[in-house]
Amino acid sequence: MLERLAGTLDFQAQALALRSERQRLIASNIANADTPGYVAREMDFATALRQATSSSQSTVASGGNRLATGSATLLASTEAGHLAGTGSAGGAAPLTYAVAAQTNLDRNSVDMDRERASFADNTVKYEATLRFINGQVRTMLSAITGQ
């Protein structure tokens, strides 16, 4: 019973966790805009969310907690310039390399315009996810109170 109530929030909770991870990733790119040799990273959000929710659905079905601890980290290659790899052990989200629009003399591949745009985009979508969660909580509360 309680799992059903919590389960409705599960998808949005996963999305929120991934959004915050992407926010941190873009912040890292912006922070390293002047670091020589830094390679900008990007997250394939759709794949990451699909991975996280598919692994969490099995844990929810068995009554477990939602955190995707066992999901394997794979680097998705969505563009021609992306490299194949197995990814880091810690992160649960698939990371790709952002291909720079212009090359830099110090081999830094951060494109500040794109990063700023991605940051704003991610901020809005994070807030949207928060509002979805708040809406679902309100729906459940009104169902519980029965008014």
Partner 1 sequence: MGMMSIFNVSGSAASAQSQRLNVVASNLANADTVAGPDGQAYKARQVTFQTQLVGELANDATAAGVRVSTVSEDQTPGRRVHDPKNPAADAEGYVTYSNVNPVEEMVNMISASRSYQNNIEVMNTAKSLLLKTLQMGQSG
Which residues sit at the interface with partner 1, rule CB under 8 A? 16-17, 20-21, 23-25, 27-36, 38, 41, 43, 88-91, 93, 95, 112, 116, 119, 123, 126-127, 130, 133-134, 137-138, 141
Report long-range pairs for 114-123 (Cβ below 8 Å, ≥24 apart).
115/26, 115/29, 115/30, 115/33, 115/40, 116/30, 118/26, 118/42, 119/23, 119/26, 119/27, 119/30, 122/19, 122/22, 122/23, 122/26, 123/23
Q: Which lies closer to partner 1 via its Cβ, residue 20 or residue 58?
A: 20
Question: Shortest Cβ distance from residue 80 to partner 1 (Å)?
Answer: 21
Confirm if 87 and 94 have CB atoms less than 8 A apart.
yes
* Under 8 Å between Cβ of 12 and 129: yes
Among residues 58 and 142, whose Cβ is nearest to partner 1? 142
| Distance of closest approach, residue 48 Cβ to partner 1, in angstroms | 11
* Minimal distance, residue 133 CB to partner 1, in Å: 6
Q: Which is nearer to partner 1, 43 or 52 (CB)?
A: 43
Which of 43, 53 has the CB closer to partner 1?
43
Q: Tell the smallest beta-carbon distance from residue 91 to partner 1 (Å).
A: 6
